Amino acid sequence: MTLKVHHLRPAPGAHTKKTRVGRGEGSKGKTAGRGTKGSGARVQVSARFEGGQTPLFMRLPKLSGFKNNNKVVFQVVNLDRIASLFPQGGTIDPETLADAGAIRRGQPVKVLGTGELGGVKVDVQAHAFSKSAEEKIGAAGGSTTQI
């Protein structure tokens, strides 16, 4: 005979039989573990019911609005900051900006157009650019690359 899962049984004494309550005075009859009197002894009352007191969910203030979990928060760098940090120009990416202390690592970067580059040619790589920043970088002879 092969061993099959539906033939398996617990060892004797390992599994105690379920107590059948409310089946006569001889074995957990009468109140059947519910105590004496009251709504808990008579009906099933939900755990959130507070006995007629104003419920907790009605007492707490409601939160206004919502939080958008998909919102992308950019770290912003202005052109005048780039001009002051990199007066010689060159290739600028989030890594070089983090090394210069302009931004924190691991977060998306947006370049804004406040200030002037002062004729310095820069090749900027970032996650986003404002239109004015793209125009000013292009006018100075540089390029913008979106990551």
pLDDT per position as a tens digit, 3-25: 999 999 889 889 888 889 999 98
Would you state the pLDDT for residue 104?
Answer: 92
Grade residue 58 by pLDDT with cuts at 50, 70 and 90.
very high
Consecutive H or E run containing 139: helix 131-139
DSSP conformation letters of 46-102: -TT--TTSPPHHHHSPPPPS---TT---PEEEEHHHHHHH-TT-EEE-HHHHHHHTS
**Third-level CATH fold of 75-146:** Ribosomal Protein L15; Chain: K; domain 2 (3.100.10)
- Whole-structure pTM value: 0.55
Give phi and psi for 71, each to the nearest 5. -70, 135
Domain ranges of the chain: 75-146
| Three-state DSSP class for residue 138 | helix
Distances (CA, A) of 91 to 114, 139, 141: 19, 16, 12
Q: What angle do CA 67, 131, 147 make, to 5 degrees?
A: 65
* Closest-CA residue to 77 (of 50, 44, 39, 117): 117
Residue 89 has pLDDT above 90, yes or no: no
Q: What span, in angstroms and rounded, lies between the C-alpha atoms of 91 and 12? A: 77
Residue 47 has pLDDT above 80, yes or no: yes
Distances (CA, A) of 137 to 65, 79, 85, 87, 104: 39, 8, 15, 14, 23
Q: What span, in angstroms and rounded, lies between the C-alpha atoms of 126 and 147? A: 6
* Closest-CA residue to 107 (of 128, 84, 133): 128
